[in-house]
A and B are shown apart, each in its own frame.
Chain A
Amino acid sequence: MEIIKKLLFIPILFLVLPLDAKEICTLTSEVEPDVTITLKYIGSAGGIGTLNYKNKPSLGFYVGIWNGYGGQYYTAMSYSPELLDEEKTYQERTKNTEKITTGHFMNFVGNQLGRATSIEDRKSGKLRALMPSLSQGYYYSIPFTKDGEFGRQKLSKEMKTIIDATEGFFVNSGGCRKFFPYGWD
């Protein structure tokens, strides 16, 4: 009887796991698929998460929206496990991180710019993001090479892959619609 009860629970477990995965937005680099950005939505077209290399966090990542003229921005920061602690406030989550760079998080739909394309010219397409200042910001966050270790003059495979990835587009691999306020379906 006990075994039957457990067996009845198994389908429920399968139901719970996909729901949790659905809450995460995954953006995958088009040129370097080993580099992804995973974000948990916190409201106002923004969220907190990480930039990952081979599914392991390399940087902390935040996406938000600017007041005034508008537009969306990202902030890349050093990684701290506290960043993903949803029980804490934003200040608590980021207090042990160091900001690397911030800049435009440009929304594209296919090859069209989300913000600048008139309604009548819009074509459906994949949601894609371009962050034109991220590669340079990341590059300058890498310390100078010392004693034969990896550094700015001697990039590791991970560093080089992240630089190459951040020069190109990231595409929505699932769960990112809310992060594209200038996009369309």
Chain B
Amino acid sequence: MKLLLLLPLLLGLIPSVKADSVCVLTSEIEPDVTIKLQKIKGLGKSFGTLDYKDKPAYRFRTAVQNGYWKHYYVISELSSDDSKKNVDVGRFLEFVGNQPAPGTPKEDRKPGKLRVILPDMSTSYYYHLDNVPNEKGYGRFNQSPLMKSILKASDNFFVASNEECSNGYFIYGGNGWKS
């Protein structure tokens, strides 16, 4: 009987814990396009998916390059197991509000929203789309709504949509420079 009373509470708690451990980055221009990431061990490392209308469309992961400490992302096909099917590898350029996070001196920093831009993604994604239409007739020159939205989103900023993104996903922007 006690267990039955606790059951709704337990069931209600478990999904919310899972949701909280995911950082959601939402396209500012195409809100149907989101990046959902889970933190893994290592500086700036995370993995997840790029979603369209809440359904995974591509794999997405981030990491940091040694040497210059570039924070980068890798986007690949959902089905791929190897790097040959990468759609793009590029800089995960962090912003806090309107300030580029790696390039803003400490004394000039203003608190703001955590945002990211993926400068190379739109071009790479465009050329990743096959110029021969797929079985549904979609391709580089006749883009599906998903393709159009991802292309448009990748030319603009993504903004952190939940607090989880302040937990180590942004190595330069941290928690949005809040003290």
Contact = CB atoms under 8 A, between A and B. Distances in A.
Interface stretch (B12-20, B44-52, B78-86, B101-109): B101-109
A115 interface: yes
| Interface residue range, chain B | 20 to 34
A115 B91 contact: no
Interface in B90-145: 91, 93, 98, 100, 102-105, 108, 117, 119-120, 122-123, 126-127
A155 interface: no
Interface of A: 31, 66, 68-69, 71, 103-104, 106, 111, 113, 115-117, 130, 132-133, 135-136, 139-140, 164, 166-169
A167 B120 contact: no
Contact of A132 (B98, B104, B119): B119
A74 B155 CA distance: 18
A169 B123 contact: no
Interface residues of B, dominant DSSP: loop
24 contacts: A31-B103, A31-B105, A31-B108, A68-B126, A68-B127, A69-B127, A71-B122, A103-B119, A106-B119, A111-B98, A113-B156, A116-B29, A130-B100, A132-B117, A132-B119, A135-B68, A135-B103, A136-B70, A139-B67, A139-B68, A164-B103, A166-B103, A168-B100, A169-B100
Contacts, number: 57
A167 B100 contact: yes
Contacts of A140: 67-68
Nearest to B72: A136
Nearest to B172: A167
Nearest to A137: B68
Among A69, A106, A135, A140, which residue has the most Cβ atoms of chain B within 10 A? A69
Contacts of A166: 103
A116 B156 contact: yes
Contacts of B152: 116
Contacts of A117: 156
B93 A132 contact: yes
Interface in B10-53: 29
Contacts of A113: 117, 155-157
Given A104-B120, A132-B119, A167 B105 contact: no
A168 B104 contact: yes
Contacts of A169: 100, 103
Nearest to B69: A136
A104 B117 CA distance: 12
- Sort A-B residue pairs by CB-CB distance and give the 8 closest, nearest first: A167-B103, A168-B103, A116-B155, A116-B156, A111-B98, A132-B119, A69-B126, A136-B68
